[in-house]
Amino acid sequence: MVVSSMAQDIIQNGRSDNELEGINGYLLAMADKYNVDAPYNRAIYQLCQEEFSNSNFKPMSVSEVWQRMNLDGKNQSLRSA
């Protein structure tokens, strides 16, 4: 499994030192500021916050992410945002 740089940060540097706020947090702040819907980014952000806060964090596969986000493998649409 390929491990993202964000997951590597959590594993190597601890939970508080990661890219989540700097990348996704900033994007969501801009989306809110300009009234732009960003359901995928918001769902990923929330999923990352949940997972990174677990004391036994382990990276998730793409399939696990899709399942947690309620994505349909055929059309990959977000069912609830």
- 32-80: pLDDT as tens digits: 999 999 998 999 899 988 888 887 878 888 888 888 887 655 445 554 4
How much is the pLDDT for 31? 97
Non-local CB neighbours of 38 within 8 Å, separated by 6+ positions: 27, 28, 31
Q: Which pair of structure tokens corresponds to residue 24?
A: 């996704």
Domain residues of the chain, as ranges? Answer: 5-64
Handedness of CA 49, 51, 57, 63 (dihedral sign): negative
